[in-house]
Chains A and B, each alone.
Chain A
Amino acid sequence: MSPAEPHLEQRDTEAVPGRPGRRKGGRGGERSMVPEAEFTSYYGRPIVKPAPWEADIPAYLFAGGLAAGSSLIAAGADLTGRPALRRTGRLGALGALGVSMFALVHDLGKPSRFYNMLRTAKLTSPMSVGTWILSLYGPWAGLAAAAEGTRLLPESARRRAPVALLGRLDRPTGVLAAVFAPPVAAYTAVLLSDTATPSWHEAFRELPFVFVGSGAAAAAGLGLLAAPVHETGPVRRLAAGAAALELVMEHRMEQSMGLTAEPLHHGKVGRLMRAAKGLTAAGAVGAALGGRHRGLAAASGLALLAGSACTRFGIFEAGQASARDPKYTVVPQRERLEREGPVRYRE
Chain B
Amino acid sequence: MTSLFNDNDLWGPLDPSADAGYGEDRPARKGFFTDTSICIGCKACEVACKEWNDVPADHFDMTATSYDNSHSLNANQWRHVAFVERPAGPAPVDLGMPGVAPTDAVSAGSTAGGAGSTAGGLLDNGADAAPDFRWLMSSDVCKHCTHAACLDVCPTGSLFRSEFGTVVVQDDICNGCGYCVPACPYGVISRREGPDGSRNVGIAQKCTLCYDRLDAGKTPACAQACPTQSIQFGDVEELRERADARVAQLHEAGVMDARLYGNDPDDGVGGAGAFFLLLDEPEVYGMPPDPVVTTKDLPQMFRRATTAAVVMFAGAALSFLGRRP
**Residue in A79, A179, A186, A201 whose beta carbon sits within 8 Å of that of B305 in the complex:** A186
B153 and A126 contacting across the interface, CB-CB below 8 Å = yes
A186, B308: Cβ atoms closer than 8 Å: yes
Q: Say which residue of A47, A52, A112 sits within 8 Å of B181 (CB atoms).
A: A52
B76 within 8 A of A: yes
With A41-B286, A49-B184 as contacts: A209 and B311 at CB distance below 8 Å:
yes
State which of B12, B68, B156, B306 has its C-beta within 8 Å of the C-beta of A186. Answer: B306
In the assembled complex, the Cα of A343 lies from the Cα of B271 at a distance in Å of 12
Interfacial chain A residues near B292, Cβ < 8 Å: 343
- Number of contact residues on B: which range applies? 35 or more
Say yes or no: B312 contacts A215, CB within 8 Å: yes
Residues of chain B within 8 A of A113, CB atoms compared: 156, 173-176
Interface of B: prevailing SS: loop
Known: A108-B177, A345-B266. A125 touches B154 (CB 8 A): yes
Q: Would you give the 0/1 interface string for A28-70, flagging 1 where the beta carbon is closer than 8 Å to chain B? A: 0000000000011111011111111100000000000000110
A2 with B193, Cβ < 8 A, contacts A128-B155, A196-B149, A233-B322 known: yes
Q: B312 contacts which of A40, A82, A212 (Cβ < 8 Å)?
A: A212
B218 interface residue (CB < 8 Å to A) = no
Q: Smallest CB–CB gap between A17 and chain B, Å?
A: 7
Query: Is B152 in the interface zone, CB < 8 Å from A?
Result: yes
Q: Which residues of A contact B182 (CB under 8 A)?
A: 48-51, 195-197, 200, 319, 323
Q: What residues make up the interface of A, taking CB atoms closer than 8 Å to B?
A: 2-5, 7-8, 10-14, 17-20, 39-43, 45-53, 68-69, 72-73, 76-77, 79-82, 107-114, 116-117, 119-120, 122-128, 131, 178-179, 181-183, 185-187, 189-191, 193-197, 200-201, 204-209, 211-213, 215-216, 230-231, 233-235, 237-238, 241-242, 245, 319, 323, 326, 329-330, 333-334, 336-338, 341-346
Q: Which positions in B face A, CB cutoff 8 Å? A: 2, 4, 8, 10-13, 58-59, 61, 63-66, 68, 71-72, 74-77, 82, 84-86, 93, 95-97, 149, 152-158, 173-179, 181-195, 201-204, 264-268, 270, 281, 283-292, 294-295, 297-298, 300-302, 304-313, 315-320, 322-325
